[in-house]
Amino acid sequence: MLMFCPPGTYRAQTDSELLIEVLRRQGWAAGRSVLDLCSGPGTVALAAAAAGARSVTAVELSRRSAAAAWLNARARRLPVAVRCGDLFGPVRGRRFDLVTVNPPYVPSPSARLTRHRAARSWDGGTDGRAVLDRVCAGLAAHLTPDGRVLLVHSGVCDPDLTMTRLADVGVRAEVLMRTAVPYGPVMRGRSALLERRGLTVVGARTEELVVIGGQHGG
């Protein structure tokens, strides 16, 4: 999908492609109200709208990325509502049939997450879970009784822990897809850091991407 991605916005990569593949193949969006968190320029949100979602709301912290998502939706004449803000903040009090998330998940040098640099699109705190755990914790309040969640992240961030976090809020989850990919530029640049922290084995140059799906009350 050709997207408008101005400098400083996240360009869709294999993680977004895998999330979209599962969403389309298993019909997760059709007829449902969808919330796409950490939407970037709207790649997954637009795919959900094109796949027959009843409504789509995209939430993005970066104003530049939110503007790109709005422009991309308008250019394709897809009914995507774009909100700028932090995770569930802009949709407080609302519930959705499906929440999709491709969060920042690359372990970063500091626990403090940047707000105004491109790294906000991938920095996930010291273990890569700073944003991911907040998403898991807030899901129950924003899913319909049988609502679903579809998220993607690196195996470095411990998929089993993600499923535990989801179970803690009443979401039964499973791994729907796994695939190994070569390190991208950010992971390559942090390979020594990841090894020192015991998050990867010495000499690793590939990571596993994992798509996790779950159902509230399932």
Supply the CATH number for residue 134's domain.
3.40.50.150
Based on the structure, what is the number of domains in the chain?
A: 1
Residue keyed to tokens 């049939």? 97
For the ranges 65-69, 70-74, 119-123, 179-183, which has the lowest average pLDDT?
A: 119-123
Residue 31 is assigned to a structural domain of this protein: yes
54-79 per-position pLDDT tens digit? 999 999 999 999 999 999 999 999 99
Q: What percent of the chain has pLDDT over 70?
A: 98
Residue 141 is assigned to a structural domain of this protein: yes
The model's confidence at residue 116, banded by pLDDT at 50, 70 and 90, is low
Q: Domain span at residue 206?
A: 14-216
Shortest CA distance to 72 belongs to which of 16, 11, 114? Answer: 11
Quick count: other Cβ atoms within 10 Å of Cβ 38?
25
Residue 45 is assigned to a structural domain of this protein: yes
The model's confidence at residue 163, banded by pLDDT at 50, 70 and 90, is very high
Q: How many residues are there in the chain? A: 218
Residue 87 is assigned to a structural domain of this protein: yes
Name residues whose C-beta falls within 8 Å of residue 119's C-beta, 6 or more positions apart in sequence: 108
The model's confidence at residue 121, banded by pLDDT at 50, 70 and 90, is confident
Mean pLDDT for the chain? 93
Residue 8 is assigned to a structural domain of this protein: no
Residue 142 is assigned to a structural domain of this protein: yes
83-109 per-position pLDDT tens digit? 999 999 999 999 999 999 999 999 999
Residue 210 is assigned to a structural domain of this protein: yes
The arithmetic mean of pLDDT across residues 151-165, rounded, is 97
Residue 115 has what pLDDT?
A: 67
pTM comes to 0.94
Residue 146 is assigned to a structural domain of this protein: yes
42: amino acid identity, one letter: G
Residue 119 has what pLDDT?
A: 79
